[in-house]
Amino acid sequence: MASAQRFAGYPLAREGPKTVYAYSEDKNPALRGWPLVIAANLCKSVTRSSGLAKLLWSNAKFGVANDIAGLNDYNPRLQVGNALDAGRCAPTKVEITEDLRDRQPEDLAGRFYSAADYHELYKSGRLTPLQVAKALLPLTTQGKYKSAWAATNEPLVLAAAKSSTERYANGEPLGILDGVPIGAKDDIDVEGYISHIGLTYDPSEPFFKPAKETMWPLAQLEAAGALLVGKLAMHELGSDTSGCNPRQGTPVNWNNPSYYPGGSSSGAGSAICAGLVPIALGTDAGGSIRIPSAFCGIYGLKPTLHRTYTMKSSVCVIGPMAATASDLTIAYRLMSAPNPEDPVQGGFAPSVPPSPTAKRTIGIYSAWFNQASPAVLEATKKAIAYFSEKLDYEVVEITIPYIEEGQYAHGAWALVEGMDRACTSAVDMLKYGQLRELLMEHLAFLFKKHPGLLILTPTTPEAGWRIHPGDAAYGFSDGNVTMRIMMYIWLANSTGCPAVSAPVGYADPEPGAGRGKLPVSLMAMGEWGAEEQLLAWAREAEGYLNDTCEGGRRRPEEWADVVALADKADEETE
């Protein structure tokens, strides 16, 4: 059976070689404090051709693709592909269906405010968007929540809130997102804001200039009335997955502040799990949406490459993060509206969910899946049993070739795209492209063999990344942990497939590592263009967490009740 979600350049469905996956832990030294400072200064003097640079590149195993026999049988794929075949269906904006407007029960454990909650509050007249904006703005610049924010423009926020308030007063809201507070990661351009990309502001640097135009995905949310409260903090240059930022400050993981929030969309994870906003936009080149979503116990979608915006990258996307699966869906549907001025993104046909009667299949590569920690395995396997026993998913064993080699190739590719001093060659890039083609062809084979297949793994193999004393001064570099945390997420970036992360349980922190259980998340990766199928699965996972998982969903102790804060602020001004 051929795929129903084809695109220009869709890979040949060809099974890859039979390989044996045996996880091997990296043994690189972790650098902190002065050793890190010395190493960083040394790296500044390293040239592409220096022996030290080549040694570091080799030690990081970034040349492993050169040793794979048979890669010459595959054409190098330097870009994943183009838009889904719009000839089947003219690109249109997907509707916000009534089921997404349903509010969760008031007595639900760990309940977060949703877009539907704000919408109902505004329509009833109990609150206005202006009251919510005035309650939130102080939290972005002072107090315990400010570390999540990189910048806010109070006049712009208040002007947008006043306009939204007037629309509700006139009975003419733009839709369910009108007046709903949201945030955007600091590397997403917003008109009137400077993108700091996690760096200290330096007016002498030419790239620290206010953006002239808001990026398309965010512009679609604002066009629907969403209230952008500000830009959210991120890992410096988006270069790691912990979220530690000694320059701007590290956002807090409110589930347990002794652990990092995850990165690089760290501010988004922190702000959502704190209850400040129900929706934020992030970017993801190596798990930067899904990792903080997992660590912070929220929902995150990495769309198909270029689905929401044509990035100057073959691995990076812009996607939504949200407190609820419904809000994740609302944000995705609005931000993925086709852009008539973008021939790639604008050519995508709408993502179409499978028929309710379609066979439901989960693929598990056990040798890979089982490398997660015992606590993560316990939580994720309980969730998979629920999908199998209660929701009639068939669980099948699959294999994927060259898992370890593919991850190193993805890491090197991301470095090449993100830095101008990456020590790689054209030969390396061609080999990476051949390995990408091999993986994509194998995935196409699996999707053809099992139509509608969802490949499930833990989002991260560990429930969290504990903060090391002193990291706040200079930051740190621990490639061993970084690569382990990225163990599962890289495949979707390398092949361009969409993937969604959903919390399914909790784990205890390490002894002496603060209070608060750590969220554990499960990740589903689907076929190119299968976002709606993934979002439907995320809503099923949310049902499991809320109604079946022991204890249900947990809300951080320091969760901010924005509605109560807005009520209080209104009373004080009367």
Residue 489: CATH number of its domain: 3.90.1300.10
> What pLDDT, on a 0 to 100 scale, did the predictor assign at position 83?
57
Residue 423 located in a structural domain: no
Q: Is residue 1 predicted with pLDDT exceeding 60?
A: no
* pLDDT above 70: percentage of residues in the chain: 90
Task: Tokens for 325, please give them.
Answer: 């699966």
Summarised one tens digit per residue, pLDDT across range 329-338 is 999 999 999 9
Q: Is residue 3 part of a domain?
A: no
- Residue 86's pLDDT band (cuts 50, 70, 90): very low
Domain ranges, residue 499: 112-349+357-406+433-463+475-573
Confidence at 424, pLDDT banded by 50, 70, 90: confident
Domain-located, residue 335: yes
Average pLDDT, integer, range 291-302: 98
Half-sphere exposure of 529 (CA within 13 A, CB side): 24
Residue with tokens 């709408």: 350
Closest CA to 508 of 544, 549, 463, 551: 463
**Which residues are within 8 A (CB) of 368 and not within 5 positions of it... i.e. 6 or more apart?**
21, 400, 403, 457, 487, 488
- With 0-12 / 13-18 / 19 or more C-beta atoms within 10 angstroms meaning exposed / middle / buried, residue 304 is buried
Enumerate residues 6+ apart whose C-beta is below 8 A from 154.
137
Mean pLDDT of 119-147: 97
Number of domains forming the structure of the chain: 1
Report yes or no on 384 lying in a domain: yes
Q: In whole angstroms, what is the distance from residue 260 CA to residue 254 CA? A: 9
Residues 6+ apart with CB under 8 A from 217: 188, 281, 308, 309, 318, 335, 336
Closest CA to 177 of 232, 127, 228, 136: 228
Q: Report yes or no on 60 lying in a domain.
A: no
The residues, ordered by sequence, that sit 6+ positions from 546 with a Cβ below 8 Å of its Cβ are: 104, 108, 109, 110, 552, 553
* Token pair 């689907």: residue: 526
Read off the pLDDT of residues 511-565 as tens digits, 9 standing for 90 and up: 999 999 999 999 999 999 999 999 999 999 999 999 999 999 999 999 999 999 9
Catalytic residues, by residue number, are 185, 264, 288
Q: What would the two tokens of residue 278 be?
A: 């129900």
Q: What does the pLDDT read at residue 469?
A: 87
pLDDT confidence of 88, banded at 50, 70, 90?
very low
Determine, yes or no, domain membership for 177.
yes
3-state secondary structure of 380: helix
393 lies in a domain? Answer: yes
Residue 11, both tokens: 């890979």
Task: Tell me what percent of the residues of the chain surpass a pLDDT of 90.
Answer: 75
* C-alpha to C-alpha distance for 146 and 139, rounded to whole angstroms: 6
Q: What is the mean pLDDT of the chain?
A: 91
Determine if the peptide bond prior to 264 is cis (ω within 30°). yes
Confidence of residue 143 (pLDDT cuts 50, 70, 90): very high
What's the pLDDT score for residue 4? 55
| Nearest in space to 369 (alpha carbons), one of 360, 378, 356, 359 | 378
- Tell me which long-range contacts 152-156 makes (C-beta under 8 A, separation of at least 24): 152/229, 152/230, 152/231, 153/192, 153/193, 153/230, 156/192, 156/228
Res. 84 pLDDT band, cuts 50 70 90: low
Among 572, 319, 161, 300, smallest CA distance to 152 is for 161
* Interval 236-260 mean pLDDT: 95
Residue type, 144: K
Q: Is 384 or 350 the better-scoring residue by pLDDT?
A: 384
At 568 the pLDDT is 84
Closest alpha carbon to 337 in 133, 556, 552, 177: 177
Give the pLDDT confidence score for residue 328 in this predicted structure. 98
Which run of H or E residues covers position 359? Answer: none
Task: State the residue for tokens 């045996």.
Answer: 22
Of 121, 21, 127, give the one whose Cα is nearest residue 400.
Answer: 21
Closest of 311, 310, 293, 313 to residue 301, by C-alpha: 293
pLDDT at 28: 78
When pLDDT is averaged across residues 365-392 and rounded to a whole number, the result is: 98
Residues making up the chain, counted from first to last: 574
Q: Is residue 307 part of a domain?
A: yes
Sheet of 499-507: strands edge to edge?
Answer: 149-151, 227-232, 181-185, 279-284, 317-322, 299-302, 499-507, 518-525, 454-458, 361-364, 394-397
Residue 375's pLDDT band, with cuts at 50, 70 and 90, is very high
Is residue 158 helix, strand or coil?
Answer: helix
Strand segments, DSSP code E, in 76-193 are 149-151, 181-185
46 has pLDDT over 80? no
What residues form DSSP beta bridges with 299? 322
Q: What is the mean pLDDT of residues 341-347?
A: 91
